[in-house]
Amino acid sequence: MSAAAQQSVSLAIQLILMVGAGILAVRLKIVSADFDKPLTSFLMKLCLPCMIVRSMLGDFSWEELINCGRLVVLALILWAVTFAVGQGLYLAMGKTTSARQMRFSCMYTNFTFVGIPVMEALYGDQGVFYFVVFLVPYRMIYYSSAEPFLSPPGVERRKKTLAEQIKGWFSAPVIAVFIGLILYVTQLPLPVPVSGVINSLGGCASPLGMVLCGISLSRYDFKKLLKVKYFLIPLVRNLALPALTLGLCLLTRLDAELAHVAVMFSALPVPSLLAAFTIQYDPDRESQFQAAATVLLSTLFSAVTIPVWAVALAHLIP
């Protein structure tokens, strides 16, 4: 077995075990099913920003800085491509509930709680550095686009104030990227106690993120979710879109480092907040249940499909 294959198998096992730990923690009543809400806040506002800053504390390189600019452009192009694909499927599927969720799932992935642990396991701090820069455009439009894309037709939407829109654009992880870039460019040294705390809290983000996925999934009855109609979105998200992204990277002969970021982003499962957004913006019970099924199935599939795409990248774009 090649080194890439061994690493991918190890990653798959880690994903399954950490998600399983979260499910088990709820089933054994170590934590409650509602523990995902405070844990999400803790991770998003503290651990994840520390991890982002930690990944950017290396030696300055003009080449890396140029790559950061290219990654932002690449992210915008990929968003436009996946929006076009999602919009096409939305129209082809008759603008139904499934169509709305398909469009949203084409555009976004679980880039925080699955994506960052995956990039860290596969590519280390360098991979995380590139990945969090790539995510900046996504983070700035992700939350504000959920309501218009997932609300049923005819539902009146509350207009957000300018302050609310700005707050949505500049979440804690986005601010952390800008702080990290300033530290990276200026090479300002942090006091040892501060860097120690950042390293420690940042190290918690990846494992706790995967455990959080398990806690979130534990509330669903697996048997009721395993219906054929719920498999379509995960198949598109986990298989078709990574294949499309890989094909575009090969066609354009994109640099290996940038291609790996783009393809691994596309290989991630549907966003974990799809279910929460659907509950918030779509009152239909079946829609809410379908969103939960989509999140569960796509996340479970990803434990197998992500390593497959990692091996494919190692061979096709070494």
Q: Which domains, from first to last, does the chain contain? A: 3-316 (1.20.1530.20)
From CA 256, how far away is CA 270, in angstroms rounded? 24
- The pLDDT, as a whole number, for residue 230 is 87
Say yes or no to pLDDT of 76 above 90: yes
Q: What is the DSSP letter of 231?
A: S
CA–centroid distance for 277 within its chain: 15
Alpha-carbon span 120 to 63, nearest angstrom:
21
Q: How far apart are CA 171 and CA 173, in angstroms?
A: 6
3-state secondary structure of 7: helix
How far apart (Å, rounded) are the C-alpha atoms in residues 115 and 133? 13
Name, in order, each residue with C-beta under 8 angstroms of 54's C-beta and a sequence gap of 6 or more: 125, 198, 199, 202, 203
Which band of pLDDT confidence, cut at 50, 70 and 90, is reported for residue 39?
Answer: confident
Average pLDDT score over residue span 198-217: 85
* pLDDT score for 242: 97
Tell me the per-residue pLDDT of 149-173, one tens digit each, with 9 for 90 and over: 988 876 566 666 767 666 767 788 8
The residue count for the chain? 318
The structure tokens 């990276």 sit at: 184
Q: Tell me the mean pLDDT in the region 36-56.
A: 87
For residue 111, what are its two tokens? 């880039």
pLDDT tens readout for residues 235-281: 999 999 999 999 999 999 999 999 999 999 999 999 888 877 887 78
